[in-house]
Amino acid sequence: MRVLIVKMSALGDIIHALPVLAYLHTVSPGIEIDWVVEEPFLEVLEGNSLISRIYKVRTKVWRKNPLAGATLREIGALKRALRERSHDLVLDIQGNLKSGLVCWLSGADDRIGFAREWLQESVNLAFTTRQIPVRRQDYHVSDQCLRLVSVPFGRDFREMELATDIATSPADDAAADVLLSTLNDGLAFLFHCGTTWPTKLWHEGGWVALGKALLDKYPESSILLSWGNEAEKGEAMAIASAIGNGVRVIDRFPLKGFAALLKKVDLVVGGDTGPVHLAAAVGTPTVSFYRASDGRRSGPRGKRHVVVQSPLHCTSCFITRCDRDDECRRSIRVEDLLAAVSRLFP
């Protein structure tokens, strides 16, 4: 059987969808799984032994010049490549216009997507032939993906152990080892302070206080600070300077190299951000906090992960800007995150 998964973006969402690979190989041994993904997130999937083929798309580029010759050629090449594979089943776990269009380009007769109330964009309904409602108990994003994928196969996923991983190269692993070899012999913590929404961030003073508290509690430990853009790098430098000895701002890694480093550190701390989900995907413990988003819906799960939700009544508001942003940031207390770390490292 040959299946096409359409989950094109973003980083965290793709990582949340990775358990569907283990599920499909469990219920259908010998299955071939292809995946359509946006170019910036291609590395997340490359090298994964559970995927047969990966199709790269560049929808942001295409939207800027929809009628350009290069755009039409790339879309045409994608259409031909998908139809040559003759997929038995297409599973659209993105649920918007662009994923629907990819479903249509595939030419497959059986195209499964979410029911209307679970779609990002209702126009997606025009491109799927079957729509799956999500059950109340499927609240977590990963469970919603698994629900859609599991229905055609008639096997529940809830009792299955569905491991995930990000493939890294020996060179990536070696580079991570070199960095870690320069640290103290104690625990290696990684803080990722940045994310895309202002309402998902914490405050600088909190990071500084947490860093100092961890170095006091675990004297031989080290803290690495990662960043994704120049603004985040500046904030990381300021936090490192305020904490003092035992802290290092690392260079920006390519995604595979970063995944290799995350596999080898002892704990990752951050908000609702890609690096936290990436760490969970490679099996590293995490402590994460949630303000505008809902940790029950998207936070890492399991005994190796602790989620801290803002106690404000308006938490999980899913808005990107708010007049009470500072109050909300400070509702995430240093002592709560420190207690979460202590649960994982008594």
- Indicate the length of the chain as a whole number: 346
- According to the model, what pLDDT value does residue 214 have? 98
Helices (H), the chain: 11-17, 19-27, 42-45, 59-64, 69-85, 97-106, 141-150, 170-181, 204-217, 230-243, 255-264, 274-281, 295-298, 325-330, 334-344
How far apart are the C-alpha atoms of 186 and 76, rounded to whole Å?
Answer: 54
Evaluated on CA atoms 330, 336, 338, 344, the torsion sign reads negative
Instruction: Reduce the DSSP state of residue 253 to 3 states and report it.
Output: coil
Q: What confidence tens digit (pLDDT) does each residue in 70-121 have?
A: 999 999 999 999 999 999 999 999 999 999 999 999 999 999 999 999 999 9
Contact of 214 with 338, CB cutoff 8 Å: yes
Q: Return the closest-CA partner of residue 95 out of 133, 39, 52.
A: 133
- According to the model, what pLDDT value does residue 239 have? 98
Q: Return the closest-CA partner of residue 125 out of 154, 95, 151.
A: 95
How far apart are the C-alpha atoms of 2 and 4, rounded to whole Å?
Answer: 7
ω before 10 within 30° of 0 (cis)?
A: yes
Percentage of the chain modeled with pLDDT above 90: 98
Measured in whole angstroms, how far is the alpha carbon of residue 328 from the centre of its chain? 23
| E strand or H helix at 113 | strand 111-114
pLDDT, mean of residues 236-265: 97
How far apart are the C-alpha atoms of 184 and 191, rounded to whole Å?
Answer: 17
Q: Return the closest-CA partner of residue 262 out of 130, 172, 328.
A: 172
Beta strand 267-270 with 247-249 is unpaired
How far apart are the C-alpha atoms of 329 and 5, rounded to whole Å?
Answer: 37
Percentage of the chain modeled with pLDDT above 70: 100
Question: Token digits for 106?
Answer: 């595939």
Question: Token digits for 291?
Answer: 């303000």
Q: How far apart are the first and last CA of the chain?
A: 47
pLDDT, mean of residues 139-145: 96
Q: What confidence tens digit (pLDDT) does each residue in 293-329 have?
A: 999 999 999 999 999 999 999 999 999 999 999 999 9
Confidence of residue 40 (pLDDT cuts 50, 70, 90): very high
Equal CATH topology for 2-153 and 170-344: yes
pLDDT, mean of residues 253-271: 97
Angle between helices 255-264 and 274-281 (to 10 degrees): 60
| E strand or H helix at 36 | strand 32-38
Evaluated on CA atoms 30, 36, 39, 44, the torsion sign reads negative
Confidence of residue 218 (pLDDT cuts 50, 70, 90): very high
- According to the model, what pLDDT value does residue 263 have? 98
Per-domain residue ranges of the chain: 2-153, 170-344
Question: Token digits for 62?
Answer: 């295409």
Q: Please state, rounded to an integer, the average pLDDT across all residues of the chain.
A: 96
Residues 6+ apart with CB under 8 A from 146: 19, 20, 23, 138, 157, 162
Q: Which residues pair with 53 in a beta bridge?
A: 34
Confidence of residue 199 (pLDDT cuts 50, 70, 90): very high
CATH number of 170-344: 3.40.50.2000
Burial pattern 2-26, b for ≥16 Cβ within 10 A else e, equals ebbbbbbbebbbbbbbbbbbbbbee
- According to the model, what pLDDT value does residue 279 have? 97
- According to the model, what pLDDT value does residue 226 have? 98
Question: Token digits for 57?
Answer: 């798309």
pLDDT, mean of residues 186-191: 98
Q: Which residues pair with 36 in a beta bridge?
A: 6, 55
- According to the model, what pLDDT value does residue 81 have? 98
What fold characterizes domain 2-153? Rossmann fold (3.40.50)
- According to the model, what pLDDT value does residue 234 have? 97
